[in-house]
Amino acid sequence: MAQQTPSSNTTTGSSAPDGLAQKSVERLPESFYTQFLSISALKRKPSPIRGLFPLEKTPGLISLLAGKPNPSTFPFTSLSFKARSPTNPDEELDLTVDGDELRAGLQYSDTAGTKPLIDWLFGLQERYHGRVRGEGWRISVGSGSQDLIYKAVEAFVNPGDPVLVESPVYAGTIPMFENLNCEQLEVETDAHGICSTSLRSILENWPAEKPKPKVLYTVPYGCNPTGMTATLERRKEVLQLAKEHNFLILEDDPYFYLYYGTAPRYPSYFNLEETYLGETGRVLRFDSFSKILSAGIRIGFATGPTPLLNAIDMHTATSNLQSSSLTQAIAATLLNAWGYDGFQAHIDQVSAFYREKRDIFEKGMKKHLAGLAEWDTPEAGMFFWFKLLTKDGSEGDSKAIIETTAFNRGVLALPGTAFLPNGRKTAYVRASFSLTPEEDVDVALGRLREAILDAQKEATGA
């Protein structure tokens, strides 16, 4: 059952009124990050216009500065919506974005995000990761977390750089690295998530003359496509290696709130760098509302060291300018109406929902695929990652089976080759269990069974 992450220890907190509480935590300084910024990021200059904006606040000053449209020409006068109460399924909340909130939502706003949403998110990060505002890190809102991950990669990775990525890795990031001609160093994963021994081995055997990788990209909960979740031990080992070998961790965590395992929820890297490593500023964390509020609303947020977020925001300032102020206003209205307890209640329901879907799907897999496929049970997210077995134990090719016999039999799943950085052959398959109704699960897996048997017959000529 998804649980709240414990707050950081009091010894590392900063709750003393004068802010001078005993700290055993080292906060990496701003100058630390220059070594991590890409040529592209270092070239970006802040706009000269922005430098003047603070002057607008001078009392009595009249500004002719900003090329903002006059809001009286915007036709929207009010916006309302209904949302289910997370504590009472029969109740709907009637919410309105009005007055100043709507005005702000309709006009250009700050690159990094609108204040009401950012304030709420700071509270969220404190509640779930124990990190206190004002300690060298901040938050930027993006048009989905993918928007921010893309910009982060551009900000910290130069063409040709080596990058550490879990393998198999979320297919959406492979093109980002390929476009930069990166050397994608595959770190093995297993049922407990990222293999720290594999990571250690790569780093300790690194040729002395080659620049070391500066970045690790990892999806610690319900990794897409494997569905696996990194245990506490693995996370601690990875953090130690990050410090030893001086790399940043891009913690992409869209399924953090879709955890339904039996073990207590493992703390995030963003939490552990403070509570365990005692040195903060290596983790850049990406959260998403796509799996819990709405995918179409396009709201994600990055949390991490201010210099890193500044680099991302400078990119935003020249590309899409900002995330939609209007959707941020809608989200902030909902989240403030729910409060953090309401949010937790909602998360409890969402993770329970996906656990049930997982159970139904696994029941079907046991029924139809026992002996024909092998898999580990996911404890977060929405994917099963399973290996199609051949009769003689040789390495199969799931793509061949999927695109021919499985398709012909009326079932479609995703060949694992899509998630391997070099697109090599594999027997693995990713199936999503988020959408399929119970009766279709049974039919689909039955068809898949027949397809695997077809393939086995073909292979043996039987």
Please give the residues from 383 up to 422 whose contact with its own copies meets the rule CB under 8 A. 383, 399, 402-403, 407, 410-415, 417-418
At its nearest, how many Å lie between its own copies and the CB of residue 299? 8
Selected binder of its own copies within 27, 119, 132, 143 (CB under 8 A): 143
At its nearest, how many Å lie between its own copies and the CB of residue 137? 23
Which residues, numbered 242-261, are part of the site for its own copies (CB under 8 A)?
none
From the list 18-26, 53-61, 115-123, 229-237, the region that binds its own copies by CB under 8 A is 53-61
**Structural contact between residues 84 and 124, judged by C-beta atoms closer than 8 angstroms:** no
Cα 401-405-410 angle, rounded to 5 deg: 115
178 scored as a contact of its own copies (CB under 8 A): yes
**Structural contact between residues 372 and 387, judged by C-beta atoms closer than 8 angstroms:** no
From the list 11-19, 60-68, 182-190, 233-241, the region that binds its own copies by CB under 8 A is 60-68
Phi-psi region of 281 (alpha: psi -120 to 50; beta: other; left: phi over 0): left
Instruction: Give strand pairing partners of 279.
Output: 26
Selected binder of its own copies within 16, 42, 65, 459 (CB under 8 A): 65
197 scored as a contact of its own copies (CB under 8 A): no
Which residues, numbered 317-376, are part of the site for its own copies (CB under 8 A)?
318-327, 329-330, 334, 346, 349-350, 353-354, 357
At its nearest, how many Å lie between its own copies and the CB of residue 196? 26
From the list 189-197, 271-279, 389-397, 437-445, the region that binds its own copies by CB under 8 A is 437-445
Q: Coil, helix or strand for 404?
A: helix
Selected binder of its own copies within 111, 125, 140, 146 (CB under 8 A): 146
Nearest CA among 143, 130, 120, 133 for reference residue 335: 120
At its nearest, how many Å lie between its own copies and the CB of residue 402? 8
Structural tokens at position 178: 């390929």
175 scored as a contact of its own copies (CB under 8 A): yes
Instruction: Give strand pairing partners of 383.
Output: 432
In this structure, the number of other CB atoms found within 10 A of the CB of residue 450 comes to: 17
224 scored as a contact of its own copies (CB under 8 A): yes
- Helix ranges, 217-324 (H): 232-244, 269-272, 306-318
At its nearest, how many Å lie between its own copies and the CB of residue 49? 6
# of chain residues touching its own copies (CB under 8 A)? 107
90 scored as a contact of its own copies (CB under 8 A): no
Nearer to its own copies, 277 or 452 (CB): 452
List Cβ<8 Å contacts ≥24 apart for 401-406.
401/451, 401/452, 401/454, 401/455, 402/429, 405/450, 405/451, 405/454, 405/455, 406/447, 406/448, 406/451
Cα 456-460-462 angle, rounded to 5 deg: 90
Selected binder of its own copies within 5, 12, 109, 303 (CB under 8 A): 109
